[in-house]
């Protein structure tokens, strides 16, 4: 079964306006930013910044859809993790992936991340809820 526990983040894109986007959200609107929690090998290749709100995050990602869009080793057939998307935490990432599979929903899996598309083509991301990691939820290789 797939059980969503809460929203993790929403992501929006910019092509060449990363500095202007940061100025608008941080300086004009006063939104707090936080460190990006991504592996160093990806951080340089995915320019952007993360904003923190009381109920989740918004990620701003610099991304040119006319380019390849994918990082080395990332071959998505069913979703676009670099484009606009919404990410949800789930109770058990292994159960979530199994549920999508039994429902016939195509998805891409990268370690602790699962990506799919909704019927309108919007990318949806699932991650193990870190507040529930442990022997039951996260202990099965999440």
pLDDT at 75: 57
3-state SS string for 121-141: CCEEEEEECHHHCCCCCCCCC
Residue 69: half-sphere exposure toward Cβ, Cα within 13 Å: 15
Q: At 79, list the tokens.
A: 């979703």
In the chain, the domains with their CATH numbers are: 4-66+82-132 (3.10.180.10)
**Alpha-carbon torsion 44, 48, 26, 52, what sign?**
negative
Q: What pLDDT sits at residue 138? A: 41
Which tens digit of pLDDT belongs to each residue from 94-124?
999 999 999 999 999 987 889 998 887 888 9
Euclidean distance between CA atoms 33 and 111, whole angstroms: 26
Residues 55, 124, 68, CA angle at the centre, nearest 5°? 120
Instruction: Report residue 68's pLDDT band, with 50, 70 and 90 as the boundaries.
Output: very low
Give pLDDT, residue 58.
Answer: 92
Rounded-to-integer distance, Cα 125 and Cα 8, Å: 9
Q: List the one residue out of 3, 73, 9 whose CA is nearest residue 37.
A: 9
Q: Please give the residue that has the higher pLDDT: either 31 or 135.
A: 31
pLDDT, one tens digit per residue, over 14-34 is: 888 999 999 999 998 899 999
């Amino acid at each position: 079964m797939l059980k969503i526990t809460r929203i993790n983040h929403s992501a929006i894109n910019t092509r060449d306006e990363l500095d202007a986007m940061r100025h608008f959200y941080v300086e004009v609107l006063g939104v707090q930013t936080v460190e990006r929690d991504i592996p160093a090998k990806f951080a340089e290749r995915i320019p952007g910044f993360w904003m923190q709100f009381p109920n989740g995050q918004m990620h701003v990602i610099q991304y040119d859809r006319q380019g390849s869009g994918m990082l080395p080793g990332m071959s998505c057939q069913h979703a676009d993790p670099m484009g606009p998307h919404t990410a949800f935490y789930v109770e058990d990432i292994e159960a979530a992936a199994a549920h999508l599979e039994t429902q016939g929903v195509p998805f891409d899996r990268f370690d602790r991340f699962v990506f799919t598309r909704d019927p309108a083509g919007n990318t949806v991301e699932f991650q193990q809820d870190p507040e529930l990691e442990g022997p039951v939820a996260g202990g099965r290789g999440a």
